[in-house]
Amino acid sequence: MHPPGRRPTGPAELSPPMSTAEPLRLPSALRARVATARRVVAFTGAGISQESGLATFRGGGESLWERFRPEELATPQAFHAHPRRVWGWYAWRHRAADAAEPNPGHRALARMAAVFPFFTLVTQNVDGLHQRAGSPEVLELHGTLTRAHCGRCGAARPMASALAESAEEPPPCPCGGRFRPAVVWFGEPLPGGVLERAVAESSRCDLFLAVGTSATVYPAAGLIEVARGAGAAVIEVNPEASALASLADLCVPRPAGHALPALLEAMERCRKPAS
C-alpha cells in the first residue's frame, strides 16, 4: 500500500448533476454489482464531517493543516515539549466535535449497514460522529477524540472526564504518567489490529465506497487500492476528485450529506426483488 502512479486506468464515470430531489442514477453495470454485493466497505475521511461544521485537515483555505503546524500539535515530541499547548488544542477540537451533530451522510451510512449482509465502516475521523449516527461498529484508523489514555501505562478514560478534571493541562495518571488524547499522532503506529482488519475486509469486499477523503494519507488511502486490486467496484463520493479517483467506477462529485442518502436509495432500489 504505497502511493500510486503505476497503474493507469480510464477515467471514472461521473454521475450527472443532481438537484436536491433528483434520485441518483447508477450505470447499469454498477447496478448489477450493487444488486449482488454481499460484502461492502465504506471508507470515510474528514470531508464527511465538514458538513457537520468540522474543519478538514487538507484542501481549502480553512483546513486545519493550513492554519496550524502539525509538528507543533500532533506529534509525541510536541506533547512532550509543550503539553499544555497540545492538550489545549485537543480540548478545543473535542468541544467542536461534541457540539457537532451527525449529518445525513453519517446517517445514510448507518442505515446502509442493514442493506448488505456484511458491511464494514472504516474511518480516518476521530470525532465519533459515525457512532452517534447509529453505526453499529466503526474501525477507527486514527484513534478517537472521545477517549484519553495514559502515555505511560495505557489506562483509558473518557476524554470528557479528563477535560473536566483539567482543560488547561493534561491530567496526571496514578502511575505517574499523564493522559493524552487517544488519537494517532504523526510518527505513531495505527491501533493494533485495526488496519489489519480494514485491509482484510477491503481485500474481500464486492463494493468499496470512498467518502470525503483526499486519498493522500497512507497507509489508510491504500485501502482503495487493495479493494480495486481485489476486483471490487469502487464508488467515490467527494466534491473534488481525490488522488485515487481514477480507480473508481463511479465518482459522485457532491458533498456526502447530499450524495449518500441518494446513493442509499439507489442501492435499495437495486436490491429490491423483481416483482
Grouping H, G, I as helix, E, B as strand and the rest as coil, residue 63 is: coil
Q: For residue 179, give the C-alpha cell.
A: 493522559
Whether 94 is a known active-site residue: answer: no
- The neighbour count for residue 88, using CB atoms within 10 Å, is 16
**Cβ neighbours of residue 247 under 8 Å, at least 6 residues apart?**
4, 7, 9, 12, 224, 225, 228, 234
Catalytic residue among 94, 106, 130, 142: 142
Cα 226 from Cα 105, distance rounded (Å) = 24
DSSP designation for 103? -
Residue 20: exposed, middle, or buried by beta-carbon count in 10 A (0-12, 13-18, 19+)?
exposed
Grouping H, G, I as helix, E, B as strand and the rest as coil, residue 245 is: helix
Upstream peptide bond of 27 is cis (omega within 30 degrees of 0): no
Query: 30: part of which helix (H) or strand (E)?
Result: helix 28-36
Cα 262 from Cα 243, distance rounded (Å) = 24
- What's the one-letter identity of residue 103? N
Cα 220 from Cα 191, distance rounded (Å) = 12
Active site residues: 142
